[in-house]
A and B are shown apart, each in its own frame.
Chain A
Amino acid sequence: MYIYDLHDKTLIGERVAQYRRQTDDYLAGKISDGVFLPLRLQNGLYIQRHAPMLRINIPYGMVSATQLRTLAHITRKYDKGYAHFTTRQNIQLNWPQLEEVPDILAELAAVDMQSIQSSGSCIRNVTSDEFAGINADEIEDPRPWCEIIRQWSTLHPEFAFLPRKFKIAVTGAASDRAAIQVHDIGLQVLKNANDEIGFKVLVGGGLGRSPAIGQVIKDFLPAKHLLTYLEAILRVYNRYGRRDNKYKARIKILVKAWTAEVFAEKVEKEWQQEIGSPSTLTDEVIKNAKAFFTSPTYENLNAVSCEENLQTFAAENVAFGKWRDRNVVAHKVAGYCAVHLSLKPTGVAPGDVTDSQLEAIADLADRYSFSEVRVTHHQNLVLGDVKLSDLPELWQAAKRQGFATPSIGTLVDMICCPGGDFCSLANAKSIPVAEAIQRRFDDLDYLYDLGDIKLNISGCMNACGHHHVGNIGILGVDKKGEEFYQIQLGGSAVDEASLGKVLGPSFYAHEIPDVLERILNIYVEQRIEGETFLDTHRRIGTGPFKEFIYAKAA
């Protein structure tokens, strides 16, 4: 994990002092609401339905046990004893007091955490693959590059007042687990024929009101040009992105209006002027960044005998076997694995954790996984480096804390935005719908038979629950003051990304579990051996689902 040096520590300390001064001035009436707004947003504080919310960065999803304990302490001292993991690998507090935020930021800074640019029209926290550095399909660890981008984007003087928010994601794997195709900029680390490292660069992806899949504007950008090229993209966007209409201000609208080819040309022209400038990365800075992400000291384990013991244990504990099948992921090092801690037990808002759970996670990380935890895009956590031989013990411990729901990747491991219970922009509630689905689909064997299905729920078209890229997406809509839910099928953020298509007229909340069941029945009837829900949908299209659902409903 990256360790802050004196420069980083000084900077976040000065940031706390600056924000304390801004808050004091605001409370004393010396800064107007309008001017304070972007200042507080760029420190993560935004106002929602009930209270301000504070979004805290977890850069590319990596968090230490020490940091988790501080987060636990903060939720207790300044909030109601719980916090919420978001779909962008961050964590947020739902009830902080505006006056206390400088103190919260100071406590975070003490453990090298911050909330710089976690909200507002600026470059946001860079996100990545939760299995970075540990998955066998990786071409190159994306995290050193993420850290280089984190530093470059932090307090960048030119790009603090962009037309709109700006999100960058980096993946280093053959399979895209960072959803780079639905980000303002998506970067895929790869190697060319000469074994040199570089990036495939995508721009203009995004969800929200006008969802779009990112388009490639550079097939191979040699790694040392990363920052000059990013600056060129941002400069073009900052100068020409629309500012007259907030719904048309994202870079995807500019790319669409100009076409990707024209956008690429403009960027190329701008970049050619800066190519080779001092922001060009040196071998040394790349080497230094990589040095933070070397492997921990893995033990030499006998994978075969570990495996035998696990088989024996699983034979006696059927539940363990099921949990392992769903929640444990292969590791590039023999004898190790990565373990999902599920934050999706029935009846709890997806991604929510209590203060004592945060501490329990820290303890598990200390004991089983080199004191590090990863936050996933699906609002779960991962212990990245667990010995196979520790699995039975870890399973028991995770069960005691409520982290062992054996449903990772299934229908009930859904992404769900805070929705109408918390969010002032919502058209409809989302958490109760998620809970109703979890209650209906509680038969594990049925869920396992359905296999991998991504179900994503958003409470409005801002799409914080990523409904466009759910294999099944549910969107809250408002019709004459009543809450309805539209269903979309066929979305995916992985590899061949696609946006879901609307099934048809929307439903009442209470109809959703039945409708889902019918959708799943069609899949089960129509699937060919080995097909996932997405495969089947891609083969047969939305038509058969539509006919069946609306014929029956009529």
Chain B
Amino acid sequence: MPKLLKGNSVIDNSWQVLAKDFTGALPDTPCFVPLEYWLANKENLQTPETIGVWLDSDQEPEEIAGDIEDLQYLAVNFPTFTDGRGFSIARLIRDRYQFTGELRAIGEIVRDQLFYLSRCGFDAFCLAPLELDQETRSFEDYLSPFSVTYQASANEPQPLFRRKQG
């Protein structure tokens, strides 16, 4: 079974991510459908426990703004780990559209991005099997290598200068 980092622990991941051009009938397993598919079929996809939506880095989160309350699972794809668009998309999903379900980072992410990813609002991470190899270090080293952050972000609504003012 593939694995997933959720919070601080590695858990089984039974979710499938359907291709961007997917059409046809859904599989039996829980799955993330691509945005286009969701927009075309959302009336028939109202089982939020097993159907989520994934966005690619060039897609507009605005398009699901109206559906946020109907969804429990969202995913954002990183085509390469240096494609930083997903960070902004996550912040919009969390801060602007107030999504409270699971926001999963999929695609080519690496451990050393976990800190920024989680600050932008991701709380589940589909790391490659190699990246999940946990022998040497705890994920805590990657999720929170810093005890100080200057900015407001998805998991810290106040910038440091306001926190300092207390």
Contacts and interface: CB of A to CB of B under 8 A. Distances in A.
Interface stretch (A59-67, A150-158, A193-201, A374-382): A150-158
Interface string A215-232: 000000000000100000
B41 interface: no
A260 to B, nearest CB: 21
B112 A278 contact: no
Contacts of A35: 81, 110, 112
B152 A278 contact: yes
Contact of A161 (B84, B91, B158, B160): B84
Interface in B110-165: 110, 112, 115-117, 119-120, 136-137, 141, 145-153, 157-162, 164-165
Residue in B84, B146, B160 whose Cβ sees the most chain A Cβ within 10 Å: B84
Nearest to B153: A157
A162 B147 CA distance: 24
A157 B88 contact: no
Given A10-B147, A14-B148, A282-B165, A157 B82 contact: no
A278 B162 contact: yes
Nearest to A31: B112
A154 B153 CA distance: 13
A151 B150 contact: yes
How extensive is the interface on chain B, given as a class?
35 or more
A7 B136 contact: no
A238 interface: yes
Contacts of A11: 146, 148, 150
A453 B130 CA distance: 57
B83 A282 contact: no
B112 A39 contact: yes
A552 interface: no
Contacts of A152: 150-151, 159
Interface in A1-48: 7-8, 10-11, 14-15, 17-18, 21-22, 30-31, 35, 38-39
A243 interface: yes
A162 B86 CA distance: 11
A29 to B, nearest CB: 12
Given A35-B112, A38-B82, A157-B153, A7 B87 contact: no
B96 interface: yes
Contacts of B84: 121, 158-163, 238
Contacts, number: 103
Nearest to A238: B88
B6 interface: no
B117 to A, nearest CB: 8
A326 interface: no
Interface residues of A, number: 42
A277 interface: yes
Contacts of A155: 116, 146, 149-151
B85 interface: yes
B119 A157 contact: yes
Contacts of B150: 11, 151-152, 154-156
A18 to B, nearest CB: 5
A539 B11 CA distance: 72
B110 A239 contact: no
Contact of A14 (B83, B91, B146, B153): B146
A238 B157 CA distance: 21
A161 B83 contact: yes
A106 to B, nearest CB: 15
Contacts of B157: 278
Contacts of A357: none
A235 B147 contact: no
A526 B32 CA distance: 72
15 contacts: A10-B148, A11-B146, A18-B146, A155-B116, A155-B150, A155-B151, A157-B117, A157-B119, A157-B151, A161-B82, A163-B84, A235-B91, A278-B158, A279-B151, A285-B161
Interface of A: 7-8, 10-11, 14-15, 17-18, 21-22, 30-31, 35, 38-39, 121, 151-152, 154-163, 227, 235, 238-239, 243, 273, 277-279, 281-282, 284-285, 288
Given A22-B112, A278-B162, A279-B159, 11 more contacts: A10-B147, A11-B146, A14-B145, A121-B84, A155-B150, A157-B149, A160-B84, A243-B83, A277-B152, A282-B161, A284-B165
Interface of B: 81-85, 87-89, 91, 96, 110, 112, 115-117, 119-120, 136-137, 141, 145-153, 157-162, 164-165
